[in-house]
Chain A
Amino acid sequence: MQRPVEKAPSARGSRGESDRTSHADTGSAGEIVAQFEIRYTRFLDENGRAVRELPAFARDPDVMRPIYEHMVLTRALDRKAVALQRTGQLGTYPSSFGQEGTTVAIGAAMARDDVLLGTYRETGAMLFRGVRIAEILQYWGGDEAGSDYRGPGAPRADFPICVPIATHAPHAVGVAYAMKLRREPRVAVCALGDGATSKGDFYEALNGAGVWQLPLVFVIVNNQWAISVPRSAQSHAETLAQKAIAAGIPAEQVDGDDAVAVYQAMRNALSAARDGAGPHVVEALTYRLSDHTTADDASRYRSADELERRRALDPIARLRSHLERAKLWSEADERRLEEATAARIEQAAAEFLALPPPPPEAMFDHLFAQLPEALREQRDALVAAAAAHRAETVSGEEDGQ
């Protein structure tokens, strides 16, 4: 399993002549022309105690309380979604259990006008950015309309979740290119997993972002497992962050279960990108406490011991402990949040369950801006066949009564 690299080779990238001179005498292996380092940052230990001086925002209730509340909300939504799936009311669902610190901090650090391009495990970021709970359930219930974010303040320019791995990384380059071309103070954020860093798409995107110095922040959400393949089998690189170095992009590792560390790294990277300093890569070291999806059984490939060890690092308990210590949160707050969260989830689930099924012709009606003449006959045939099938089903049910 991947261990945080806290002490990496320490020389800075040497770009100037003076550096070259200072490294010149390295024997027969030749002179060192470039050296790099990857730093790892954590503010809160597993008990929520500060291990270094905290940034000011870590004591700001306006920043920290919404992060904590959305982490709790994300977990509650995951629980509800899994329960709905187990009772046949939702399709296959990928839980973010264990990754709430990372996913919520990503969403919290972004500005409204930034664009998120994420995977199916960025539910926390989506919630923070204004995607409605009922929309997320509608999507996983099998209706694409759930990706037509329509809530108040919805992130209308965000990409729908990316299902194939890393194929959205090049999209982020295009989004960021448009922002830079139009001189807009906006940033694209591309979140992807440890497995995604093995794909060429990721490298092509990193490379493009580096060449054009785009306002683009990649977050590698390293949850240690790509379905059944552990981080150790995914890459021999000490860190995944260092893959950015090949593209000339600064990169760092953070403790992904420490929301303060993720938020800090994201804020800095976003602010630098917004100011024209170019792209950045943040590798957040976290852990997928759930199965890959409801269709997966992780006990087939990972040990109960490992899972138990990682449960102890729970990002939610960790942040709560910090907030309580900093007097930003109380037992009463927690009770209120539990009740409010449960009510929100139940209300959203009820809304989701009451949704009518999408009309069959929806599969034609959003394929092109205008239905091509060539498809009209097929659409008509579908509508007729679906109506006949429904009529038959209804009359069958009536006969049965």
Chain B
Amino acid sequence: MSGAAAAAGAADQGRHSTLSEITLVEAVNAALAHELEADPSVLVLGEDVGVNGGVFRATAGLYERFGPERVVDTPLAETLIAGMSIGLAAQGMRPVAEIQFMGFIYPAVDQLLNHASRLRNRTRGRLSCPMVLRAPCGAGIHAPEHHSESTESLFAHIPGLRVVVPSSPARAYGLLLAAIRDPDPVVFLEPTRIYRLVKENVRDDGTALPLDVCFVLRDGGDVTLVTWGAATRETLEAAERLAQDGVEAEVIDVATLAPLDMQTILESVEKTGRCVIVHEAARNVGVGAEIAARIADEGLMSLLAPIKRVTGWDTVVPYAKLEHDYMPRPEAIVAAVRETMEAA
């Protein structure tokens, strides 16, 4: 980068150090722009991410600003997108690849499982894979079939891979910066339902948030609600309703699903004695099952009541007409909390 460009970048940053009232998808865009500006090894690639600016507009304006070599429209080929990111990363680049929808991510699983997650281990650190694979996830936007899944547990099960799900614009910004700067591969799942639902001020100063830790979104002493992604909305709403009845819920946004920060969760459960886990993904072998098992293993003696889970059904995610019957509602979360309160 030329000195002039660097100066312009710094000036630009000065002018826009606080992005007022931006959405989650705009925060993603801001984080990508920040890293493209700051680090010449960063590049963005995927289907329609260039000229079109991404089907969700996550990469809008980046092509114009950073050019076609660093904001790359790829052929329509998910294996290629994931696989070439590994090659780029092994060469010292920092690719941030976009898979257009979660339903199209599965050809990339082979690459993540067989290669991205094990390149460092296979070469004893000679090569590494600092790549980010972004994908929109979850239901709730009346999308076509194959656009609404929450299959994060598939990725969380892969050793050597980080799985991160932001739940607000500020966390999307800070966690994506951290993911891009992380020396290992990160799957970054962006809940489409909250892409534009909430707006908040985000400081565009390049400050990353920590990976591998949970965020406590609300303090409370009566019950621990553990959740992530879009379901944080319903969970926080449930917590407000419970508060009206004098039940104070602690709400934990797991944020990094793997590796899992159990310490924060266990400390909270030790305090409250009750735990309800909320996720949009199907219950069977979901990340909630791992969290429940770990609490049973390491925090059983703190429990006053059985751990409850409020999740999507163990069905195929329904097409638009029924998708709202699929997802956990605040009432279901409140009801689950009441059950745990009645147990002891």
Contacts and interface: CB of A to CB of B under 8 A. Distances in A.
Interface of A: 115, 117, 144-145, 147-149, 156-157, 159-160, 163-164, 167-179, 181, 188, 200-201, 204-205, 207-208, 211, 362-363, 366-369, 372-375
B259 A159 contact: no
9 nearest CB pairs, A to B: A174-B87, A170-B83, A174-B84, A374-B259, A178-B91, A171-B87, A372-B259, A148-B124, A174-B88
Interface stretch (B113-121, B188-196, B243-251, B309-317): B113-121
Contacts of B262: 374
B5 to A, nearest CB: 17
B144 interface: no
Contact of B126 (A115, A148, A177, A374): A148
A173 B84 contact: yes
26 contacts: A147-B124, A164-B110, A168-B115, A170-B80, A171-B83, A171-B86, A171-B90, A174-B85, A174-B86, A174-B89, A177-B88, A178-B88, A178-B92, A179-B91, A181-B69, A201-B79, A204-B77, A204-B79, A207-B75, A207-B80, A208-B74, A362-B124, A367-B120, A368-B160, A369-B120, A374-B260
A174 B90 contact: yes
A163 B93 CA distance: 24
Contacts, number: 139
B161 to A, nearest CB: 10
B50 to A, nearest CB: 13
B212 interface: yes
Contact of B90 (A147, A149, A175, A211): A175
Given A147-B123, A178-B88, A167 B80 contact: no
B82 interface: yes
Given A144-B124, A170-B83, A173-B84, 15 more contacts: A156-B126, A174-B86, A174-B89, A174-B95, A181-B69, A205-B83, A207-B75, A362-B124, A366-B124, A367-B120, A367-B121, A368-B160, A369-B128, A372-B212, A372-B259
Contacts of B77: 204, 207-208
A174 B260 CA distance: 30
B125 interface: yes
A211 B75 contact: yes
Interface size on B, as a range, is 35 or more
B9 interface: no
Contacts of A201: 79, 83
- Name A's interface SS: helix
Contacts of B183: 368-369
Contacts of B260: 374
A373 B256 CA distance: 13
A363 B43 CA distance: 31
Contacts of B184: 368-369
B115 A175 contact: no
B261 interface: yes
A173 B80 contact: yes
B130 to A, nearest CB: 9
A175 B91 CA distance: 6
Contact of A164 (B74, B89, B114): B114
A387 to B, nearest CB: 22
Nearest to B92: A178
Contacts of B159: 367
A368 B126 contact: no
A164 B121 CA distance: 16
B16 interface: no
B263 interface: yes
Contact of A169 (B43, B70, B83): B83
Nearest to A369: B183
Contacts of A207: 75, 77, 80
Contacts of A174: 83-91, 93, 95
Nearest to A362: B124
A173 B95 CA distance: 13
A373 B90 contact: no
Contacts of A145: 124
Contact of A171 (B84, B110, B120, B261): B84
Given A144-B122, A372-B259, A173 B87 contact: yes
B245 to A, nearest CB: 35
Contacts of B87: 117, 170-178, 188
B111 interface: yes
Contacts of B114: 163-164, 167
Given A144-B121, A369-B120, A374-B259, A167 B126 contact: no
A204 B84 CA distance: 10
Nearest to A212: B72
Interface string B58-78: 000000000001100011010
A173 B97 CA distance: 14
